[in-house]
Structure 1
Amino acid sequence: MKTRAAALRGVGQDWEILEFDLADPGPGEVRIKLKVAGLCHSDEHLQHLELPLMVGGHEGAGIIEAVGEGVTGLEVGDHVACSWIPSCGVCRFCVTGQGNLCDLGANMMSGELANGGYRFHYEGQPVGAIAATGTFAEHAVLDQRSVIKVDKDLPLEWVSLVTCGVATGWGSVINAGQVRAGDVVAIYGCGGIGANAVNAAVQTNAGLVAVIDPVEGKRDFAKKLGADFVYASGEEAMADLWERTNGVGVDVAVVTAGVVTGDIIRDAFFLTRKGGTIVLTGVADDAAEENMHLSSSLLTLFGKRIIGTLYGDCNPRVDVPRLLELARAGKMDLDGMITRKYTLDEINTGFKDMLEGRNIRGLIVYDD
């Protein structure tokens, strides 16, 4: 079949809407009609990398249109979340509760499906889909291990949100940061992931929640979510929070900035107390960039912990349904996280709005 999708051709190029040939689902695969896709900064990072033609999008939700041979637990008409972290359930990491590190994620940047090969083709050539999902497409074929069935009464906009931004931000605080009631928490960046980190810290009854973001609109949004203090720079935060904590520092610093630099990491390191934790969630534009330059002696002498987290240490098959149940119970405001909706043809406008701070989480909503 034919389908339209947004793809990148090279470094610094805008997204192009192209028509692709989409193969039928193979064994263990399903074809999904996408209904919603999230605009995440991780997809914008692709514009800075040397990659072949690639279909974008890793946050999304839709309805199953066709199933391949051997698919179990899924059928035509099911509503599903597209998990950019697959879960095989049998590798060392899955069976020890680290589904976010499943071995099937090894081909994330190549766009190759777990069974091998590619289902998108353009002008006769195979084309990968980022994270083997490709949610910036009207239709996509995914491995069943990258699909999570959800209840049909749940808004698919909610389902899309929890497949990346919500889970990553929430998990960075709850799972990776292990924030407890009364803790002092500093969050660097209040975009689609950082906003959910703020939400989690507030709901955990942190003693003080501080947000550092250079964009005024994002600082205002952080205040609406319940942040106690907001700052435009790391220097401003250091001066004020050092005084407010009587020279102790924050218990947990969570770095969710859209582009993580050495300066941000250093600021978070020095603002964190002895024995405290620095959680690195965001990434640099260049994944190979060596942007951490810290004193190992201070790390040792002050007993601090710097930890990286992928997907907020969430287990997709457990935490996606869990977060949706919190939203259904009115304990998590997912509608409030959506600042604007776009068509697929407006994708470049959506990313521009994100970079310029006009949206926290933009969504692509597909026509029926």
Structure 2
Amino acid sequence: MNDMKSVNALPADIDPIWAGDGSHLPEWFITALSVPREEGYVEISGAKVHYFRWGNRDKPKLLMTHGFLAHARCFAFIAPFFAQDYDVVAFDLAGMGDSEMRGSADTASRGQEFVEIAEALGLFADGHRPTIIAHSFGSGAALTAVTQSPHAFDGVVVCDLMIMRPEMLDGYWNKERSSPGSGNPDKPNRRYPSYKAARERYILSPPQPVAEPFLLDYIAYHSLRQERGEWTWKFSPEVFRRSNTPEEWLHMGKRLAQAPGRKAIIHGSKSMLFSPASADYIREIGGNDIPIISVPEARHHLMLDQPLAFVAAIEGVLAMWNTPPRIDSNEKV
């Protein structure tokens, strides 16, 4: 393959505004974004829900979603690696990315979104049960989904969800001074005179450097929209009308351990939000059967630090779940 490509040969997602001529982009990224996909909207409760879809409709189903204030393109360069063996959907949560806000932003409503999008796109057809793969805030919503509808999903892969012992969480809260993802639902999104001015204001939460800066540029660009010559954030301020208290996060570990069905955890080895102490805590409160995989050199935003290792970690979980259990020769069948 050529190391250099002209802009005209690049996938539509790679806009010159953030990518220039694209010559610095690795071949794997360009190839991933070139994998055929469907992009569209379905209407749910009178609001448009944005999604991408890859792969074969007859294959097992994967349902992917993102963290708070992010969007489905967090998985747009991850999902294509699964297109050969799966029917993969990545969607924008309500009020984020290109999905319109609908209903409430409370915990129960967020969980229901997984069932709604799966039904709308036929992921339950012919007895299929999708496996959920979700990052951060999306993982918390996914735990609600599998708890609300335990027979609807085949498992959930929780990717760097904030889980800490209560005493560690208290220390984190005191240091951060506010809940992660806090904001004012009654304040309109700020507007910027240029993309450059808006891009300078794009930061990750929690703040971190990224190992692959071009991926951060890609995510930042698709977090913004242009209106009447100005740039503003895509997310709706209404997403901040949600429960986001220390009490909620204090119980997140128990929610994960007690959630029905198959669960796996993938986290960054350098994550601020899920550490080896978090893994020990999960095991202590009943999660001994939950596989916990650490992605080396990755922080909270796994897909921006070690995207290919993140793919490999997901592949490992799915391969384990798809392998028939070993039967001991001494056991009766």
TM-score computed with the length of structure 2 as normaliser: 0.29
In terms of fraction of residues, the more strand-rich structure is 1
